[in-house]
Structure 1
């Protein structure tokens, strides 16, 4: 839990920002179980660090690492192990039910016995997968069309696996087990996950991977993919709720129902064998989303865990307090600053809310913000961290993987959009504080800025990361150097990282990575449906049709789809899905590749504060005690200017750093002025006082004209804003002037 504390020098303002939030369905082990999970999670994360750096060294020098003879691993095997490890660890750690019975009370031993019975077919299936591997190793030709092999795969491997997987998932929903113990259904699901991985590594190690999606694919691939898909969706439900599961379920239903639908939704008939033999390949689950989660995302989760273990997160929040706490409505400004710093590393908006909001939201309420506004400010600020370069909550790396655009180009292009987002949120909360007559925090309520400046070296890991990336180092090398520097720099603090602390950091990373790996794999299911059914191409045709009537209408429609697809989903999954559905259509409209993907990415991020399903707002409401829907509406209002920013990319690509400095700088300045005016109009606060309705309307019109980015519209915008300024300053209209009502006398 985040706490506000103080010491003799007033240096410490926040403690506990780096502590892990404990989910309601997470098991809390003790004794040998705790040691086992600690070792499992730490080794899982360390395995990725070793494998990625083994691959990096191999690609850099052409020499395998002598101490790591298995590295570099074959890509497919690496991704399969990556997903299987997250499934295994996730099922042990996170229960299928939200509540835990007390030890000896409310437990369901009968369901445990059913789970033990289902372990028999699960182990039989695992044994069959191992026997297939031994057969292939001994030189047996594995032909998916051979009747004998097909029968063995179906009855010795497939049917037992499906029975164990389906039964284990259902039983886990009902089974009661106290919080500190392993549950039998979850151990059963672990065995099923290992079985799927064993079989796929065996088969994909042969030429069988080239037969996926054809009649020559072994039936076992399809059956293993069915079980693997069910396991991924079940873990995603436990980790991220039902929203993503419902969307994935709709897409899966579309595969088989699409042939019966009319118009552009109609798709060719696809058999379940063909679909599932291909969905667990790089066309789906093992595709771009898992490629990124198994490399860049987990690498930066390890980096974040090392920062967490060395308490750098506490320093970030303290620094934010010392820098911004004196301004009016100080804690709200702190939330913007701290959440931007933490959010670019944290992979989810809601997770960032929990990390920093436990401190900032109560302080915002203390200085006068309404509880729904306090929660909304934190939600909007935490969401903005996902578009903050250089890390962008791993979004930049997914965009680089999908588009092929170099990461450094994406990070540079994100600078002005991130500035516009945080400037807009800053103005919104500043004007709210001005309307309410709020004060800043007193000197004795804040950390000692001079003391904090003495520890500014704690920013070095992030500076090293940025420097290494822009010096042309690979992302893996840059991330590894930054992680190592975090451990080294910790020796200049009271939280020195020895072997035990490093092991703890790896364990934190292993646990932190489960959710994002699960949602990336689940998003891969949706991406697989889109690519295999061709619905993305048909959606692009629909956008082209709309663009013939109005390109702005097509963009608005694309915005709505991106937000709709992103509701209830973590940012990485939201962008991956929207990029598959929406971005290709925008590219066909003639919009540059980078602009189209930034457009989609921006709205996928903003879905976290868009009603009715706004994950970041709901998380903030849980802390503030406000109504969740009211908080989401308030966060939508605070971030309203950000919903216009992506349209600015379309009209003026200089905002993505495309063009000369003489084009980029004026575009950035006029956009910031436009965002300021829009915030003034929305909040009804202009030039130090409340504004009448017609002043607000004029200011909003001026903002939209300046945001558009053309010379003529900028001049018109300046003229309108100037007129509003003169009226506000010299005529001082009554801000309570009512709106004119038709049919009434003057």
Structure 2
């Protein structure tokens, strides 16, 4: 399916921002196969929307269909290899090798389907071990292992066709799903205990293998390696020292426990099967109706002709797009292909252009009301109302984006950059007449604060996105709605795999008690000093988040770190926001900064230099969490005047910090003055009037000293 293209308009500079983006290993089937795959994608998202709004299903069944369906479609659409342009691999003889593995998986499928087709109870876990081991467990395990091996060593490079090995893996995912759904009532009682059966273990084991394989294909090796380490830890605990010691678990007990609502089917999958897929569908409706293009055009019309205009557009446009996009790196690719070349055109260095885009796109993950998916996960984990989390996120997000904007503006002043010619930009007056395209966002926010559930608010916003499109050249009819549902599934698959993989880690932490012991270690290292504990929490959050999507990084870090911080007396909202911020910022933190690397690929700049530059651009995000720890008013906790005082002081602090980073404060700054400026900015972290006076007074002195230097022959030029 293809979306209707937007009508021609003058200086439609953002044309193409909303085009579907294909991953390097994503298949693009054509003809009848392409229609079938599109139909499966449409059905997957429509099923979730229908269940959430019309016909609720039993929890385990719903989450299993969510995970199993995502695995099946994911294997069909995403190859085990990266496609080369024009690459072709002959399948002569290869499919013959796949067939034995597929047949073994089909044997297991027949056993799983037997109870559904009325041919008996299928595999009876109470039967003698040999009865189900040879008819279900081993055929499923051997068949899956064989086709995985074929897929890795002899991949099919034809992008327009489905790979038979991947079809076999999709069938294996269906087998696992059907088995666990049918035996779910009994599994709730025996999973993770001595009563667990070996048949349960085989299904859960293959399910874990398939989840890790799809995660590797869609999110890289980082999360797979971390999850694998946690799985191994479950078995080697008896031989480990100190807090890592535990008594160990059998294969049957471990894998059956992991595939319950304490692990894979737990909070992370609960979020991905409800809030994430709903708001990804909302984002897909905005994309299909070309509202994303409008957001970017609007930003260009408002600020494109200002000094450093394209960079300022990136701050606002990428922030808006990143808010509804589940991944920082994905948002960089979507909007950076437009903004980065334009930033280079007006004078920004390649690494600076890529860094601005990476910082802005990552910031979208902390921008309310959607915050990528973090707000929903935080609400699920903490039990704090979603509306309270959104309100608390407003000021920190304001400080972050203001800081990035200050960096961009100061850099433009420093290098005397101009904006784009007004003749090349969209007309603001024309775009202002289409301001109704913001209505879906306003409806979402309004519905949430009127007390509607998140699901109902998201559904209303999705419907509003379709309705407002009728007032534009891109009217959403049946074809466009089906296209939105199709791309929604494709956009969701990575998050399905990531959340399921994160569920494995969360399950291991719960089973082994590692989180509690780690919290005790954190308390010991910090010696009950909250600031020291927060520093350790920052380091752990960043390390866990390196190379991982935000959703998984926060879920894992919250499971490991948050209990210890809360035990030390830190408020749950503050503790989780602190962890969430650093999990998000791991996307621009060297040495593994996925968002910065994605921007570097577009800008053709050095990835490491770009990651360092993006770290500097987003430096405020490393200060703001400590600010709202010392000043809860930044999370909207306190009296209005106190909140106003803290916000004004914080805004001045991030401006001083940006000036120090860029080496420009009403003129070039000497290296010594930049250091003093950092100290002045740090003084603003505390909400006290004395520290604010110190910071403000220092800024005034630097300004006066700088003006005197500019008039003298003894000018101290900045070390730029």
| Pairing partner for 1:125 from 105, 108, 126 | 108
Shift of 1:13: 1.6
* Aligned twin of 1:19: 19
Q: After superposition, where does 1:668-683 map in structure 2 within 5 Å?
A: 668-683=647-662
Distance 1:218 1:448, change over 3 A: same
Q: How many Å apart are 1:132 and its aligned residue? A: 5.0
Residue 543 of structure 2 is aligned to residue 564 of structure 1: yes
- Find the aligned partners of 2:450 and 2:25 in 1 and give their Cα distance: 43
Report runs of 4+ in structure 1 exceeding 4 Å deviation: 5-9, 100-103, 132-135, 140-144
Please report how far the alpha carbon of residue 265 of structure 1 lies from its aligned counterpart in structure 2 after TM superposition. Answer: 1.6
Q: For 1:693 and 1:110, locate their aligned partners in 2 and report how far apart those are by CA, in whole Å.
A: 67
The aligned residue for residue 413 of structure 1 is 392
Query: What is the number of residues matched between the two proteins?
Result: 712
Aligned pairs for 1:516-555 (under 5 A) are: 516-548=495-527, 550-555=529-534
| Distance of 1:261 and 1:133 partners within structure 2 | 45
Q: CA deviation at 1:100?
A: 5.2
Aligned residue runs from structure 1 range 184-333, under 5 A = 184-204=164-184, 206-333=185-312
| TM-score of the pair, normalised by structure 2 | 0.96
| Aligned counterparts of 1:52 and 1:738: Cα–Cα separation in 2 | 58
Looking at structure 2, the residues matched to 281 and 590 of structure 1 have their Cα atoms a distance apart, in angstroms, of 31
Q: Which residue of 2 aligns with 1:734?
A: 715
Which has the larger displacement, 8-17 or 414-423? 8-17
User: Which residue of 2 is the match for residue 613 of structure 1?
Assistant: 592
Which range moves more in the overlay, 19-28 or 408-417? 19-28
1:296 counterpart SS class? helix
Which residue matches 2:29? 29
Q: Which runs of 5+ in 2 are unaligned?
A: none
The CA deviation at 1:621 is 0.8
* Residues 1:699 and 2:680 are matched in the alignment: no
Q: What is the rounded CA distance, in whole Å, between the counterparts of 1:134 and 1:711 in structure 2?
A: 74
The match for 1:82 is 66
| CA deviations over 1:425-447 (Å, ceiling 9, x no partner) | 11111111111111122211211
What are the Cα deviations for residues 114-167 of structure 1, in whole angstroms up to 9, with x where unaligned?
A: 2111111101111112235578x97x79985x452x433322111111111211
Q: What does the per-residue CA deviation read over 1:564-611, in whole Å, with 9 as the maximum and x for residues that have no partner?
A: 101111111111111111111111111000000000000000000001
How does the TM-score come out when normalised to structure 1?
0.93
Shift of residue 293 of structure 1? Answer: 0.4
- 1:487 pairs with 463, 466, 471, which one? 466
Asked if the contact 2:11–2:424 (Cα under 8 Å) also holds between the matched residues in 1, the reply is: no
Q: Is the 8 A contact 1:6 1:12 kept in 2?
A: no
CA distance in 2, matches of 1:217, 1:143: 13
Distance 1:158 1:327, change over 3 A: same
Find the residue that maps to 2:497 and give its secondary structure: helix
Distance 1:317 1:141 in 2: 56
Task: Please give the secondary structure, in 1, of the residue aligned with 2:319.
Answer: helix
SS at match of 1:18: coil
* Contact 1:386–1:392 (8 Å) recurs in 2: yes
Q: Does 1:711 align with 2:692?
A: no
Structure 1 residues 99, 731: closer, same or farther in 2, change over 3 A? Answer: closer
Structure 2 CA distance, aligned partners of 1:596 and 1:568?
Answer: 23
Q: Distance in 2 between matches of 1:561 and 1:125?
A: 42
**Structure 1 contact 361–374 (Cα < 8 Å) conserved:** yes
1:371 matched to 2:350: yes
SS in 2 for 1:522: helix
Decide whether the 8 Å contact of 1:101 with 1:176 is kept in 2.
Answer: no
Root mean square deviation of aligned Cα: 2.0
Summarize the Cα distance change of 1:715–1:501 in structure 2 as closer, same or farther, 3 Å threshold.
same
Question: Which residue of 572, 576, 581 corresponds with 1:597?
Answer: 576
> Deviation digits for residues 296-353 of structure 1, max 9, x if unmatched?
0000111111111111011000001011112211100000000111000000001110
| Aligned residues of 1:325 and 1:331 also touching (Cα < 8 A) | yes
Given that residues 7 and 474 in structure 2 are in contact (C-alpha distance below 8 angstroms), is that contact kept between their aligned partners in structure 1? no
Distance in 2, Cα, partners of 1:164 & 1:663: 64
Q: Separation in 2 of the partners of 1:499 and 1:108?
A: 38
Contact 2:112 2:123 (8 Å CA) reproduced: no
Report SS of the residue matched to 1:392: coil
SS in 1 for 2:93: helix
Superimposed CA distance per residue, residues 453-495 of structure 1 (whole angstroms, 9 cap, x where no aligned partner): 0000000011101100110000111111111111111110111
Determine helix, strand or coil for the equivalent of 2:372: helix
CA distance in 2, matches of 1:169, 1:128: 22
Given candidates 702, 710, 718, the residue that maps to 1:724 is 702
2:162 is aligned to 182
Gaps of 5+ in 1: 55-70, 740-746
CA-CA distance at 1:719 after TM superposition: 2.4
Aligned equivalents of 1:331, 1:100: Cα separation in 2: 33
Indicate the residue corresponding to 1:61 in structure 2.
Answer: none
Deviation at 1:549, TM superposition (A): 6.5
CA gap of 1:369–1:561, structure 2 versus 1, over 3 A, is same
